[in-house]
């Protein structure tokens, strides 16, 4: 592990976590429990995409579903109970200098020995009328999270890649009434993945078809679909719309870290990126499975690995410890 230490360099915090979703809050808890001076920076409210979950029912240990908000609040309180500091701030730039990190934020400059990148990824939106209004009320971006609420119901899947096909296959185990639309004339998914969908008797596939709008009252009731070749529009009843047209990882703050072809940061089993001292957790990390429980596990591993990294820094120069800073 490269340390590249400047003996005169000091830092304000041992560990700074960027992003307050499940991964970041888990990292904050484990960082604080390791007796690290730990700061979590979140530009909005802690919780991340968990805040959009109406009923979280598949997190281990919860016999009764709870709201994503309640789950996030419990994680936040737990992290603070162990001593983590949580601050509302927008990080504008991250630079590694003299073996430490400097974070430029809208509240000032922060220096850290190690950083956990937990900025997540944004689901790409269709951008059609009704999508935002019914998000969490029938419009979803996670079949594993929300599919069980619509067992036996008529569901629409939008997308044509591997993720869309995999999720459609999952939903087809819950209902015999799955319609899948893709704007192109053929799937973009791998042939074997696409073949499973095309041979599934519970999935009706329509190519060259797009969603024009989503309608409803308190929840999704119907969708207007348009055939891009004929121009024909059809209004059809659906109970749920699942959108899988890709995600945009929020990697802009970490240009030097290695990424995969889709922009997700690559990390080893210790969650360390290609940049020494920069650890990755949650939806920003290249991962085959994105769930709240996976993000929380990532955060725990990242904080534990960061603690080991910081121990090596302190052993190399014990005089350069985190210096308490006044809260802004």
Q: What SS3 class is residue 23?
A: helix
**Superfamily for domain range 125-243:** FAD/NAD(P)-binding domain (3.50.50.60)
C-alpha 19/C-alpha 50 separation (Å) is 13
Instruction: Output DSSP code: residue 245.
Output: S
CB atoms closer than 10 angstroms to residue 165: 29
Q: Which of 12, 14, 145, 298 is catalytic?
A: 145
Give residue 70's region: left, alpha or beta (phi > 0; psi -120 to 50): alpha
Q: Is the pTM value of this prediction over 0.85?
A: no
C-alpha 59/C-alpha 195 separation (Å) is 31
Residue 48: its pLDDT value, please? Answer: 83
Residue 5: its pLDDT value, please? Answer: 44
Per-residue pLDDT of the chain (328 residues; tens, 9 = 90+): 344 445 455 679 999 999 999 999 999 999 999 999 999 999 988 888 787 666 777 889 988 888 888 999 999 999 999 999 999 999 999 999 888 999 999 989 999 999 999 999 888 899 999 999 999 899 999 888 889 999 999 999 999 988 899 889 999 999 999 999 999 999 988 898 899 999 999 999 999 999 999 999 999 999 999 999 999 999 999 999 999 998 889 999 999 999 999 899 999 999 999 999 999 999 999 988 878 899 999 999 999 999 999 999 888 766 656 665 544 4
C-alpha 49/C-alpha 291 separation (Å) is 10
Q: Are 31 and 17 in contact (CB under 8 A)?
A: yes
Distance of CA 45 to the CA centre of its chain: 15
Q: Are 112 and 303 in contact (CB under 8 A)?
A: no
| pLDDT tens-digit map of 252-300 | 999 999 999 989 999 999 999 999 999 999 999 998 887 889 999 999 9
Q: Which of 12, 142, 165, 298 is catalytic?
A: 142
What's the Cα-to-Cα distance from 129 to each of 132, 134, 146, 212, 326, rounded to whole Å?
Answer: 8, 10, 21, 8, 46
Q: Which of 157, 168, 202, 209 is nearest to 186 (CA)?
A: 209
13-122+247-316 and 125-243 in the same fold: yes
* C-alpha atoms less than 13 angstroms from C-alpha of 222 in its C-beta half-sphere: 6
Q: Is 165 a catalytic residue?
A: no
Q: Is 311 a catalytic residue?
A: no
Residue 142: its pLDDT value, please? Answer: 86
Instruction: Output DSSP code: residue 106.
Output: T
The residue extents of the domains of the chain are 13-122+247-316, 125-243
Pick the CATH number of 13-122+247-316 from 3.50.50.60, 3.90.79.10, 1.10.10.1110, 3.90.870.10: 3.50.50.60
C-alpha 223/C-alpha 211 separation (Å) is 7
C-alpha 216/C-alpha 213 separation (Å) is 10
DSSP per-residue letters across 50-92: GGG-S-B--STT-SS-B-HHHHHHHHHHHHHHTT-EEEE--EE
Residue 321: its pLDDT value, please? Answer: 60
Residue 10: its pLDDT value, please? Answer: 62
Q: Which of 12, 14, 146, 239 is catalytic?
A: 146
Residue 52: its pLDDT value, please? Answer: 64
Q: Which of 274, 215, 89, 240 is nearest to 150 (CA)?
A: 240
Q: Which of 311, 263, 304 is nearest to 286 (CA)?
A: 263
Q: What SS3 class is residue 244?
A: coil
Contacts of 6 (CB under 8 A, 6+ apart): 98, 99, 100
């Amino acid at each position: 592990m490269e340390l590249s230490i400047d003996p005169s360099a000091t830092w304000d915090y041992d560990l700074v976590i960027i992003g307050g979703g499940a991964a970041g809050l888990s990292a904050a808890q484990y960082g604080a429990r390791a007796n690290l001076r730990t700061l979590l920076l979140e530009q909005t409210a802690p919780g991340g995409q968990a805040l959009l979950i109406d009923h979280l029912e598949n997190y281990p240990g919860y016999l009764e579903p709870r709201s994503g908000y309640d789950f996030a609040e419990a994680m936040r309180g737990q992290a603070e109970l162990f001593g983590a500091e949580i601050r509302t701030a927008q990080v504008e730039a991250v630079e590694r200098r003299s073996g430490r990190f400097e974070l430029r934020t809208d509240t000032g400059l922060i220096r850290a020995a190690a950083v956990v990148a937990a900025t997540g990824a944004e689901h790409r939106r269709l951008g059609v009328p009704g999508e935002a209004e019914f998000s969490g009320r029938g419009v979803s971006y996670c079949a594993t999270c929300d599919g069980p609420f619509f067992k036996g119901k008529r569901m629409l899947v939008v997308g044509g890649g591997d993720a869309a096909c995999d999720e459609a296959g999952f939903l087809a185990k819950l209902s015999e009434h799955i319609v899948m639309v893709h704007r192109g004339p053929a799937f973009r998914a791998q042939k074997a993945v696409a073949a499973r969908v095309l041979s599934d008797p519970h999935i009706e596939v329509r190519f060259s078809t797009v969603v024009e709008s989503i309608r409803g009252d308190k929840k999704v009731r119907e969708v207007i679909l348009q055939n891009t070749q004929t121009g024909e529009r059809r209004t059809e009843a659906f109970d749920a719309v699942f959108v899988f047209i890709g995600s945009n990882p929020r990697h802009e703050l970490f240009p030097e870290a290695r990424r995969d072809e889709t922009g997700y940061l690559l990390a080893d089993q210790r969650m360390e990126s290609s940049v020494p001292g920069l650890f990755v957790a949650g939806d920003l990390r290249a991962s085959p499975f994105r769930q709240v429980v996976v993000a929380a596990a990532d955060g725990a591993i990242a904080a534990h690995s960061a603690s080991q990294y910081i121990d090596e820094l302190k052993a190399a120069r014990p005089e350069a410890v985190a210096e308490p800073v006044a809260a802004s």
